[in-house]
Amino acid sequence: MRTAIVYGTKTAETREDDRLKTRLDFDYYFGTVAHRFCAQAVAEYPVTVYGKGEQRKPFISLEDVVEGLTHLAPGDPEDRPDDLTVYNQVTRAISIVEIAGMTADVGSEFDLGVAVEHFENPRTRMRPTRRKSRTTAMTSSSADRTRASRRASVTSSRR
């Protein structure tokens, strides 16, 4: 199961029983952007978009994740597929700047003065220097072995 970035902290079940509560985690630099934006808005700190904010991220609500998992978790192990099946859970891809705008809009509904500010990306890394590569002649038999080895590793990783 591959799940997109999950937003939200409650489901119908967690609302009924306090023992099932989830929590909102965020980290200033590396946390989920939606959670970070919400924490910044509540603190009335400017919502910080790094760069232009055009990068798109896949999102899905916690309620949709739970619903999807309940459909995919068969009770009887015999009902499970024999081969590896990957399911992707995503509702939609949203740009970072769109998320910032939505956060500001919702913040204004709660009389929070939420500003959206753009900053240089603190994660920008310098490009590594490239070393000149040595070209090695590969005989056709060694090339065939390399291709066969790659196919075998791809096939075994799919199982």
Q: Which pLDDT belongs to residue 156?
A: 42
CB atoms within 10 A of CB 112: 14
Question: In sequence order, what are the beta bridge partners of 27?
Answer: none
| pLDDT at residue 139 tops 60 | no
Q: Which pLDDT belongs to residue 97?
A: 95
Q: What is the CATH number of the domain that holds 63?
A: 3.90.25.10
CB atoms within 10 A of CB 26: 15
Share of the chain above pLDDT 70, in %: 69
Mean local confidence (pLDDT), 55-83: 80
Please, are residues 56 and 93 in contact by the beta-carbon 8 Å criterion? yes
Closest CA to 147 of 135, 155, 159: 155
Q: Which pLDDT belongs to residue 143?
A: 47
The whole domain housing 27 covers 2-158
Each residue's pLDDT tens digit, 72-114: 776 677 777 777 777 788 888 899 999 999 999 999 999 998 9
Please, are residues 5 and 57 in contact by the beta-carbon 8 Å criterion? yes
Q: Which pLDDT belongs to residue 141?
A: 46
Q: Which pLDDT belongs to residue 105?
A: 94
Q: Which pLDDT belongs to residue 88?
A: 80
Q: Which pLDDT belongs to residue 146?
A: 47
State how many domains the chain has: 1
- Write down the mean pLDDT value for the chain: 75
pLDDT band at 41 (very low <50, low <70, confident <90, very high): very high
